[in-house]
Structure 1
Amino acid sequence: MNGSPFGLLFVASDIDAAHEIEFNRWYDEEHLPDRASMPGVIKATRFKSPSDSPKYLALYWAEGINAFDCPEYAQAFKYQSVWSKKILPLMQNPTRRIGEAVGHMDQPEGEWVAVVAAADATEPDALKTLQPALTQIPGYVQSYFVSSIPSLSLPLPQEAGKPRQMNPLLIVECSSESAARQAVKSSLVHLPAGSLHFGVYQSLNKGSAVEVR
């Protein structure tokens, strides 16, 4: 996928401490494996932030956007499991986006990711301008822009009925927390005004994503 568009599902949320253990069990035992096994999905990984909100992030990479724009995926989203119907409404401050990602995904996954919500006017080509600065950061792995598709980015229960910005998302994979935080700083310098820090997250997969292909 070096330089070629690919599909990406981005889901971030907080969860009340009273439900956190079950939330993590649901994700690890049912939801992540189920979504990762769908046709076209390459791998999936969960992340947790040491300090940001939303606290949890899940990323699902696919061969193309069609993996999330097909009858099988629409059926899975519409007809959730009993466990999912219990957990999904408990997810606080959620952000669910599906979009086409442009950039690089040709290296082993970085343990840390930095996420920046780019300004509305940001074009995916901005990564070409930003790339030289990012590659100078020790611990930088790879990066890509996700342009959300509103018709596919259906809301989670607590998003429903609320205004939702579909700003491009910049995701920078790094091998360390310090590199991820430097990536945020560098990105905010080079991206258009109005771009915002979304979060810095560490992989919960202990170095190995749920590989599917």
Structure 2
Amino acid sequence: MAGETPPAQPPPGPPPRPLLWRWRHNPLRRRTDALQAWAGLALLIAVLAVAPVAAALVGDAARRHYEDTARHQTLTRYETTATLTRDAPRHPEPGSDEEKRTRYPVEVRVVTRDGRTRTTRTEVQPGLTAGTTVRVWITADGEATGPPLTRKEIRSRTMGWALLAAIGVALTGAAAHALTGLALRRRNLADWDTAWAETAPRWTTPT
């Protein structure tokens, strides 16, 4: 309707900068802008080059470590039959899916390879009664433990360490880029203060 005051509009923001503006020659481009552009490119190339190498080296070291661990576990662990010395607790919801996943720590009796009988604790299904036998993994000393690492577990852990190495390189590059930008911004502010100190007297000194 004629005569109505149009709603207030927000002030325009800074004009969008074109892609790769720091690479283009223009009177307003500062030396630090070009320096930041080259530093960013160098860091990107470094990350792309170093990340795969770091992932490969760390992954190989992790694989060898876990393979050695698995071999040691295979030599020092074995599966045997254990007998419950007391009843396992019963789950409050018998027959539920949660009961099927639940395990309770219970004291069991095992016989080691050298013929010694000893007790240890392992996790069993709920509701098992004393005297029930279960299969458990134990050490040479008769302590309950887990089975040796499988090939799938070794591969999964190796990939995890390799991925962490690559991410670490990328984060290091990002941090270096941020610190470089911060240092250059401080330099720009210092140059601005110096230029203003030289220019301000011309504006404020009466003629």
Short-chain TM bin:
under 0.3
Structure possessing the higher radius of gyration over alpha carbons: 2
Instruction: Report which of the two has the higher share of strand.
Output: 1
The TM-score with structure 2 as length reference comes to 0.20
